[in-house]
Amino acid sequence: MFPHYSHTPPRRVSTRVRCPVCHEEVYSRAGIHPQCAAKQSEPPKPKKQAVVVASPAVGEERAVPSDTGRPS
């Protein structure tokens, strides 16, 4: 076999500017893709907060009715 054989050829070195948002080559003069600029200008969406189920505290006794309704 060939000692310097490679399955994939090396990537060509590009002189194009990279987009600061998606890191792809940019062909616009602004140096950022229009769709990336729109995404960057929008405020970040808040993440949904998880619902926390409260459990009784450790050592806390539950209220037990003392009156069962029967005469003693």
Domain boundaries, the chain: 15-41
| Strands (E) located in 10-56 | none
Q: Average the pLDDT over each of 6-10, 14-18, 52-56 and give the range with the smallest value.
A: 52-56
pLDDT exceeds cutoff 70 at 72: no
Distance between CA atoms of 37 and 63, rounded to whole angstroms? 59
Q: What is the pLDDT of residues 26-36, one digit of tens each?
A: 988 889 999 99
Q: What is the pLDDT of residues 35-60, one digit of tens each?
A: 999 988 888 788 887 777 766 666 56
